[in-house]
Chains A and B, each alone.
Chain A
Amino acid sequence: MTLARALDVSRRYGDKLALDRVSFEVRAGELVGLLGPNGAGKSTLVNLLTGIRRPSDGRVELFGGDPRRPGSRRQLGVTPQETGLPASLRIGEVVDFVSAHYDNPLPRAELLDRFGLTALVRRQTGGLSGGEKRRVAVALAFVGRPRMVFLDEPTTGLDVHARRLLWDGIRSFSAEGGTVVLTSHYLEEIEALARRVVVIGGGRVLADDTVDAVRGLVAVRRVSLTVRGPLPELTGVTGVEREGDRLHLLTGDADRLVRDLVTYDVGFEDLEVRPTSLEEAFLALTREPAAA
């Protein structure tokens, strides 16, 4: 059963195209990671699916209805940005406020206990540490006993212990049949939790596959070299940048590229092979969407 769906959805902000004819679907019981650099369109896609914004084109559905209708969001849980908790309210009050929106919310004590927040119930959210705010934000997604949650960077900024705790919580929600959509720009977080990964870049879906397949896709290396003559046709190069007579080639298989350069007897100097950041890898994918 499909719980959330985007069909050929585009979204413009002024003349900037944030999403470009994206189709995406989440089925019941899935644990999907949405991966992409900042500004890739992840949050826009999530905002459309959770009814915060309206698509410029195309259709979005949540539990079979229009996400803009409050009724469609009854079984949905989302995380607020941790910087956005109302600073002067106490944690217990924030939980009560959110609970009031649901027919059958989790009892406050149970929720706080599950996320290790019981001792903080009287604290104002403005005085919490970054990690504590993060835990409150994730807990709020689960207040209404949702069938599906959208978690935005749930464990960014948490220490190892807190991160493990939260990951266990998300896994057990998933094991009980809950559906999870996780957005992050950290591969590690997605690798630890998700089975399916959707890579978003430049407003498009660049890849939609298993974690292993996508890991291979973004394991891109940068081979830099100075060449005098023209380069032969090289396989496996997903991007080329030129800086004077210095060339930067992006490839998923640096070993093979170097072997090829030698085989073709290319007269190169100052060869350098470096791993790329995830950011660069996404950019490479963006330029070569056929790689998906």
Chain B
Amino acid sequence: MSSLALTHARFQLLETIRIPIAVFGSAFFPSAAMLAFVVPFVGDNAEYATLATVSMITFSVMTTNLFQHGAGVAEDRAQPWDPYVRALPAGAMPRFAGRILSGLCLMAVSLVPVVLIAAFFTEATVTPLAFLITAATTFVIAVPFILMGLTIGYSMPQKAAIVVAQVLFFPLAFLGGLMTGPGLAPGIVENIAPYLPTGGAAGLMWAAVSDIPYDFRSIAALVGWTAVLGGGALWAYRRDEGRRFS
């Protein structure tokens, strides 16, 4: 049945690509943030530029997945096509998997300009091996944010989902240390960041591109978050019956 997951992914991508501005939109924000904040302020310091670039990647992994799956799923559920698909003989998994695959493809597309900007306009640098590890890490850290998005998308109506995603992403980014860089955040942020999904994800990314060591308590916390959010997403999907009216 994994071919069914590919079918779902293909059709979701088709739908997105038929409205190209949507693809452009998800690529625009991280690139603009790179040009506005990273290039002028830390662009000529190799170490800072590299760390800031992966922080920005972590930030856009979080936002694209949170909005894509949170708002996107909530929107799909409100469509009359949704109950029809639920009456087809397939369970939750092909749809989940298809959605995650298409989300990862769009995420990768939106990150390409970030990497190019870092390579051409800053002193950021990585070894080929570190680059591969970072790329793999990017997909790994996407998982908890995908699950967070799915939990939001399947548990509330579209307007609420957008608000919740918006309310969540800024404190998660700030408290996770994404806005400041390793070791430079205010004390309270330094203390709680490793135990937030954003901080844990950023820690993995920083360790991949620099000699900052892996923090295993932080990794354990990230695994815990992933399990909780996975349970949340499955629970929300199972109790979902499409849009509710009472």
Give A residues with C-beta under 8 Å from B. Answer: 13-16, 47, 50-54, 70-71, 73-74, 76, 78-81, 83-86, 88-89, 93, 96-98, 100-102, 124, 140, 144
Contacts and interface: CB of A to CB of B under 8 A. Distances in A.
Closest 3 CB pairs of A and B: A14-B246, A84-B80, A80-B84
Contacts of B14: 88-89, 93
User: Which residue, of A13, A52, A85, A89, has the highest number of chain B Cβ atoms within 10 A?
Assistant: A52
Interface residues of B, number: 25
A182 B219 CA distance: 55
Contacts of B89: 70-71, 73-74, 76, 101-102, 144
B90 interface: yes
A101 B4 contact: yes
A15 B15 CA distance: 38
B87 interface: yes
Contact of B87 (A13, A50, A96): A50
Interface of B: 3-4, 7, 11, 14-15, 18-19, 79-84, 86-91, 241-242, 244-246
A172 to B, nearest CB: 23
Q: Is the interface of A mostly helix, strand, loop or mixed?
A: loop
A73 B87 contact: yes
Given A83-B80, A85-B81, A88-B19, A97 B11 contact: yes
Nearest to A49: B87
A81 B15 contact: no
Contacts of A13: 244-246
Nearest to A14: B246
Nearest to B4: A100
A70 B241 CA distance: 15
A18 B95 CA distance: 29
Given A73-B88, A73-B89, A52 B3 contact: no
Contacts of A89: 11, 14-15, 18
Nearest to A67: B87
A140 to B, nearest CB: 8
A184 to B, nearest CB: 17
Contacts of B4: 100-101
A78 B244 contact: no
Contacts of A140: 84
Given A81-B80, A83-B80, A84-B79, A15 B87 contact: no
Contacts of A98: 88
Given A100-B4, A100-B7, A101-B88, A52 B83 contact: yes
Contacts of A52: 83, 86-87, 241-242
A97 B7 contact: yes
A73 B88 CA distance: 7
A80 B86 contact: no
A88 B15 contact: yes
Contacts of B80: 80-81, 83-84
B246 A51 contact: no
Given A52-B241, A81-B84, A88 B18 contact: yes
Given A70-B91, A89-B18, 10 more contacts: A15-B246, A51-B86, A74-B89, A80-B83, A88-B14, A93-B14, A100-B3, A100-B4, A100-B7, A140-B84
B90 to A, nearest CB: 5
Given A73-B89, A89-B11, A53 B84 contact: no
A98 B84 CA distance: 10
A47 B11 contact: no
A53 B241 contact: yes
A78 B84 contact: yes
Contacts of A16: 246
Contacts of B86: 51-52
Nearest to A78: B87
